[in-house]
Amino acid sequence: MPQALLIAIIDDDESLRLATSSLLRSMDYMTEHFASTEDFLDSGDASRFACIIADIQMPGVSGIDLTYRLMTADDTAKVILMTARTEQDIHERARTSGAAYLLQKPFEAQRLLNCLEALLTSQIQR
């Protein structure tokens, strides 16, 4: 039996972290969730995660800044960003950060699952 893939969920909203983790675990993914980018970075080697799902707007280091950092270290990192923000400049920064997808909150669970599946099977073009 193949080993389940490990997904990181980074969001300062605890209810969203837990709901996303529960959804992904129901689809046989393993998850670790973090309340901040700093907690994620302190957890060890980011390359152990098959994908990182992060909120854009968080206290401290933003999801966009995290994505830039990850892409500088490993341009094959797989990142999905999510936001409730609607400002065009934030969306543009997210698109140019190297993230594979940007999800607008609230989003359908199936949309996240579709993005994750496509990303993990490399069916995206950057």
For residues 52 and 70, give the distance between their C-alpha atoms in angstroms, rounded to a whole number: 10
Per-residue pLDDT, averaged over 62-68, amounts to 96
Q: Would the pTM of this model clear 0.85, i.e. be above it?
A: yes
CA–CA gap between residue 78 and residue 120 (Å, rounded): 8
- Is residue 126 a part of any domain in this protein? no
Specify the number of domains making up the chain: 1
Look at residue 61 and tell me if it is in a domain: yes
What confidence score (pLDDT) does residue 122 get?
73
Per the prediction, the chain carries an average pLDDT of 91
Q: Is the pLDDT of residue 123 over 60?
A: no
In a domain, 35, yes or no: yes
Q: Is residue 125 part of a domain?
A: no
For residue 64 the two structure tokens come to 């966009």
With a pLDDT cut of 90, the percent of the chain lying above it is: 80
pLDDT band, residue 75 (cuts 50/70/90): confident
Looking at residue 86, what is its pLDDT? 86
